[in-house]
């Protein structure tokens, strides 16, 4: 326990891929809770690709992080001091603490961590990424037994949830991941029927060939979380009436590739294949969290749904872990131990 | 009545925009109906943008027209000879006759033209284009009173149906059309609240400015039938949870513009605005024709839904009328009087 607040602030807006100089490490006095609030000592916080979007000063679904403000994140930790009725010191809670050692939050924005669950599970497999995969697959993807699903970043916390749920629902599951190690993990840990290393394919056409072999009956659901080369490769392989839940486009967060206009070809696929492409932001569907937890929680507890995490040690290492994550440097859910 | 078959065949596959030399005028003996078939003398057939897609040798939702084969089209005419029970000579029918003076078709593929309806109405306002607008707006667009709709090719048979149905459902309707004459027609004949001449705007940014003025509350439904500059202009104006039924992309049928890659920006809109983009082909929903006719038929009969047609005189003029239509040369539904 420390009596100094340590936090990572946004020093400037990144151009393309973030670099270390875009962040600053700040210290200060511990904040004090007001009425109805609690001070949380953060043990872990989550790093997720969506945070890259918050670093831009562009109109989006959420306010950008201000220059000098603490980077946003879901965290987990213990209540150090409480001025809220019913929330006692020592309670293990989760909430939007930011990249920080401590945070003051309204008690209404803090959720106790369920008993019998690893505290960091609420940041990943049973948190926002897990809910994202579960909601997007079931509500938009509408999987049918015997169909084929493709998901990229397949060993990440969203992709691995999507793949395991789809496999359990009787689909053929095809992973796209970066490197041989992640491909092996996709098959061995998350049970994908096939895994393709996108780094082994220089262009979309080559990647498409590998995907066509792995998905001989075409692709019914492409769970979209990357955009870029994978999207370009998959689009012509989509089956009629295919579905594409769109929850991210990490390949484009750092700027676009130097290609010709790929919009006409994409639109042609949407039309000719009668695709449904639907964007979603999991914050809109947070009310489904109890349904998700009652469906997936027991399957995680029984070990039917696997999850892995990468832990960066020390809050000072959060920027480098985030930068590495955007480049695919992690193998599991990336968290930071403060 | 003539005893010579006259027809327009596909002479070669067009490169980009079709030209006269891509078609040939052919004559021959009248075909004879077999068992269960009828010979129809065609009085009118329809010209529609989707036919451009059938001229390419690319995998699509329908087989391409073979070189030397008659161009495909819905037509209307009278039965000259019948070898099908229950279908008598002289009956006014519609079916897929092609660009031809006569056609032999199975009686099961011919539909009598309802009494009290102009025969050519079954090619437009009460035919495939009308059903396309009705289905796409209601089933995919899901219009809500007070919302704003944008549709391009707004004086065409699809766009004018969409605009009138949306207006009747309490939406603000914004037309995009080519030239002052069509803009006036969009407002005066089809009741659009605003009409924008895309020819007065050189690029998507300029067009976007005009659209933003015409749609001050943003765009909830963009009924997509053109692609290109209009799509690029509209995407950033879409409201959260907007819907885009996609039934065509005529701006791209003749090849793409020379631009940078617009796919990342489009995908960003889909994600950030949580858009639903859904392609559809009206042939998949032909079973809804009775619902459509019972909803829209009486409104057409009462004059509540306006329609206009352009008639090209003589089958020999079909190619030039088709070429002109793809460039926006028509003002109403384009048909050919044989």
Structure tokens at A310: 């990468």
Structure tokens at B7: 């027809």
Is A139 in the same domain as A267?
yes
* Residues A222, A231: Cα–Cα separation, whole Å: 9
Half-sphere exposure (Cβ direction) of A176: Cα atoms closer than 13 Å: 29
Ordered per-residue pLDDT tens for chain A, 338 residues:
568 999 999 999 999 899 999 999 999 999 999 999 999 999 999 999 889 989 998 766 678 999 999 999 999 999 999 999 999 999 999 999 999 999 999 999 898 887 777 899 999 999 999 999 999 999 999 999 999 999 999 999 999 999 999 999 999 999 999 999 999 999 999 999 999 999 999 999 999 999 999 999 999 999 999 888 999 999 999 999 999 999 988 777 766 677 788 888 888 889 888 999 999 998 889 889 889 988 998 899 888 999 999 999 999 999 999 999 998 888 889 999 99
For A6-62, write each residue's pLDDT tens digit: 999 999 999 989 999 999 999 999 999 999 999 999 999 999 988 998 999 876 667
Is B93 in the same domain as B174?
no
* Residues A296, A175: Cα–Cα separation, whole Å: 21
Is B139 in the same domain as B114?
no
Any A CB within 8 A of B264 CB: yes
Would you call B249 and A268 a contact, using CB atoms and an 8 Å cutoff? yes
Give residue A61's pLDDT: 67
Measured between beta carbons, which residues in chain B are less than 8 angstroms from residue A237? none
ipTM for the predicted complex = 0.82
Residue in A closest to B280 by C-alpha: A274
CA distance B99 to chain A (A): 23
Any A CB within 8 A of B256 CB: yes
Establish if A287 belongs to a structural domain: no
Measured between beta carbons, which residues in chain B are less than 8 angstroms from residue A227? 263-264, 267
* Residues B250, B334: Cα–Cα separation, whole Å: 15
Establish if B293 belongs to a structural domain: no
Establish if A290 belongs to a structural domain: no
* Residues B264, B275: Cα–Cα separation, whole Å: 14
Ordered per-residue pLDDT tens for chain B, 338 residues:
568 999 999 999 999 899 999 999 999 999 999 999 999 999 999 999 889 989 998 766 678 999 999 999 999 999 999 999 999 999 999 999 999 999 999 999 898 887 777 899 999 999 999 999 999 999 999 999 999 999 999 999 999 999 999 999 999 999 999 999 999 999 999 999 999 999 999 999 999 999 999 999 999 999 999 898 999 999 999 999 999 999 988 777 766 677 788 888 888 889 888 999 999 998 889 889 889 988 998 899 888 999 999 999 999 999 999 999 998 888 889 999 99
Nearest to A266 among B61, B259, B263 (CB): B263
* Residues B93, B89: Cα–Cα separation, whole Å: 10
Any B CB within 8 A of A272 CB: yes
| Neighbouring-strand partners of residue B223 | B151
Residues 203-232, chain A: which have Cβ within 8 Å of B? 224, 227, 231-232
Measured between beta carbons, which residues in chain A are less than 8 angstroms from residue B232? 263
Would you call B264 and A227 a contact, using CB atoms and an 8 Å cutoff? yes
Residue-number span of the structural domain to which B202 is assigned: 128-282
CA distance A229 to chain B (A): 11
Would you call A284 and B274 a contact, using CB atoms and an 8 Å cutoff? yes
Is A229 in the same domain as A322?
no
Nearest to B272 among A60, A261, A271 (CB): A60
CATH label of the domain that carries residue A167: 3.40.50.720
Is A49 in the same domain as A113?
yes
Establish if A51 belongs to a structural domain: yes
Would you call A249 and B268 a contact, using CB atoms and an 8 Å cutoff? yes
Is B107 in the same domain as B156?
no
Cα–Cα distances in Å, from B331 out to B181, B225, B334? 8, 16, 8
**Rounded to 5 degrees, what are φ and ψ at B281?**
-125, 125
Measured between beta carbons, which residues in chain A are less than 8 angstroms from residue B277? 270, 275-278
Would you call B261 and A263 a contact, using CB atoms and an 8 Å cutoff? yes
Establish if B297 belongs to a structural domain: no
Establish if A292 belongs to a structural domain: no
Is A247 in the same domain as A145?
yes
Is A142 in the same domain as A50?
no
Would you call B279 and A272 a contact, using CB atoms and an 8 Å cutoff? yes
**What is the number of other CB atoms lying within 10 angstroms of the CB of residue A111?**
12
Is B112 in the same domain as B216?
no
* Residues A328, A176: Cα–Cα separation, whole Å: 12
H or E, element range at A180: helix A180-188
CATH label of the domain that carries residue A11: 3.90.180.10
* Residues B306, A225: Cα–Cα separation, whole Å: 45
Q: Is B26 exposed, middle or buried (0-12, 13-18, 19+ CB in 10 A)?
A: middle
For A232-251, write each residue's pLDDT tens digit: 999 999 999 999 999 988 77
Is A202 in the same domain as A256?
yes
Give residue B49's pLDDT: 87
Establish if B139 belongs to a structural domain: yes
* Residues B264, A263: Cα–Cα separation, whole Å: 8
DSSP assignment letter at A273: T
Is B229 in the same domain as B242?
yes
Nearest to B279 among A61, A247, A273 (CB): A273
Any B CB within 8 A of A283 CB: no
Residue in B closest to A236 by C-alpha: B59
Is A115 in the same domain as A143?
no
Give the list of residues 6+ apart from residue B58 with CB closer than 8 angstroms, or none: B64
Any B CB within 8 A of A266 CB: yes
Domain count, chain A: 2
Establish if A288 belongs to a structural domain: no
């Amino acid at each position: 326990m420390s009596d100094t607040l340590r936090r990572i602030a946004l020093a400037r807006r990144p151009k393309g891929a973030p670099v270390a100089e875009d962040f600053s490490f700040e210290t200060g006095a511990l904040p004090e809770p007001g009425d109805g609030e609690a001070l949380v000592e953060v043990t872990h916080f989550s790093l997720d690709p969506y945070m890259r979007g918050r670093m831009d000063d562009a109109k989006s679904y959420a306010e950008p992080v201000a220059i000098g403000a603490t980077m946003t994140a879901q965290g987990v930790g213990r209540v150090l001091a409480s001025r809220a009725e019913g929330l006692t010191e020592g309670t293990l809670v989760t909430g939007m603490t930011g990249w920080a050692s401590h945070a003051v939050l309204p008690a209404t924005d803090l959720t106790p961590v369920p008993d019998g669950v690893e505290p960091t599970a609420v940041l990943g497999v049973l948190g926002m990424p897990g809910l994202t995969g579960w909601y997007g697959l079931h509500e938009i993807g509408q999987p049918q037994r015997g169909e084929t699903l493709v998901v990229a970043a397949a060993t990440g916390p969203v992709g691995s949830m999507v793949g395991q749920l789809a496999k359990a629902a009787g689909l053929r599951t095809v992973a796209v991941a970066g490197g041989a190690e992640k491909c092996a993990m996709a098959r061995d840990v998350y049970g994908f029927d096939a895994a393709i290393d996108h780094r082994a394919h220089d262009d979309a056409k080559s990647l498409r060939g590998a995907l066509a072999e792995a998905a001989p009956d075409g692709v019914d659901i492409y769970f979209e979380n990357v955009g870029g080369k994978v999207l370009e490769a998959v689009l012509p392989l989509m089956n009629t009436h295919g579905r594409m839940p769109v929850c991210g486009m990490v390949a484009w967060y750092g700027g676009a590739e130097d290609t010709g206009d790929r919009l006409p070809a994409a639109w042609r696929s949407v039309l000719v294949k009668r695709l449904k492409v639907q964007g979603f932001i999991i914050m809109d569907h947070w009310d489904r969290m109890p349904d998700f937890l009652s469906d997936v929680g027991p399957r995680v507890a029984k070990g039917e749904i696997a999850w892995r995490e990468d832990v960066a040690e020390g809050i000072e290492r959060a920027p480098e872990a985030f930068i590495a994550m955007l480049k695919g440097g992690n193998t599991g859910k990336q968290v930071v131990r403060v």
